Structure 1
């Protein structure tokens, strides 16, 4: 999956909000058919999504376009996918997954509607919203090639908070174990690790600190729920010129040392060896991909 820095949610029945998400510079937009759409407007929202997706794709071809259908237990999933799967869609944000079997159920339906509706290559973003999903996260991550990203759960009021029963702090330390499990599952299976969610819309300093803590843990992007959060999240998750220069210099220094028959050398006052250079090369590969596709907010 592309290393999206920001994944911005908008209600599916409000297409104007989707275009505002594009204008905000979000890397990926999720049109939400689930929690943000009243039950009596679900059918209308499906039709709106199908009409809106080609327009969004035409306006910003590089932006990821995903849809969050209703969960399997609602028995609305099939109708949602039948309506929204199309060539303009990049993937499905699959809610309420609890185990690998749920992933395969989603995969089967996506297979069917891809073939039927002329789409291909749809990926899945899996949020971890339930206690079962935390327990089974490694099996979920490995269940299907369609799973491209998982979300380390943190939220003050959403499903995961209700399921676990924690009280969210400003720094989010109470979800460290939950998020760490998801992060390791992503790393083990080559998935894009995402964190979320900052719900205080006006507190951008708090958002920046929270996002930076996620970056420190190893996450590479974040779920956001307001356009004003996009520039802050991009600032945190976009490698800086100074960081790139540091890692490039480290690799060059180590390459020279190896050419001279050395396996370790002093660099900016620190001991470095081959392992440091390997880590720097991995970091640079990610940084180039992110910076190469970054667009101004």
Structure 2
């Protein structure tokens, strides 16, 4: 927690700490945080149902305006409902190289197995213990004569370097052009006969072979625009204008492509829903792909149970 706190005050930090909370009123971290002017909260869990205690801790975080919860030595298993509500916004550090040695006694287990390396893992929290997406790891060599105490001390040094760096990178990820492009590319190329090809200096994707039509572009502040965006085809100027009027925080008229009925879906914004990105990619792909591809794609999706038989047409809107 101290490493996270001091890193938050360095130039380029993607986060501020609004609250340090604990189930132990005597935790040293609370004293350190209070001395540094950070708000604190403590509520012992003894005698309380787990869900009730979780609700009190969650309310304290919400009241403080927290958008993410970073666990640092919080030795309580959270209820699945709590974890679900904070999915993607709940981060933990674990003293092993996951997926090895989930749970407790990680150092003794690594020593007992004769491992040559130990380490730490930063991961997203899921209902399954220590099984969420791995965001970063640091390896620590196991030395001859190491004890659980000596290994633990070195792993903790690695944790102090790893945790702030990984948290910072993760919280910046929604605004990182490389990350956003990778996510769009992954989804675009999953569509039938999709190929990537630059167009006017921007990555683009087309379908239907060499003479196929473009169905999406990736725009990184193109022509002086402030947005990182997916450009997708609409049904026409009326729909384009309606989308922008209805939700200007999500849609815009691209300077270079707007006259041709393309809409910009802003990616570098809080709360981006990747299901919405998937929708516009597939819908735009349908407008560009030959019927032989859309028919085959629909048949495959129906067989897999992934498509409603009452498929929306190109005029339907997300």
- Structure number with greater CO (CA < 8 Å, separation at least 6) is 1
Which category of TM-score, normalised to the shorter sequence, fits these structures?
0.3 to 0.5
TM-score (norm 2): 0.34
Larger radius of gyration: 2
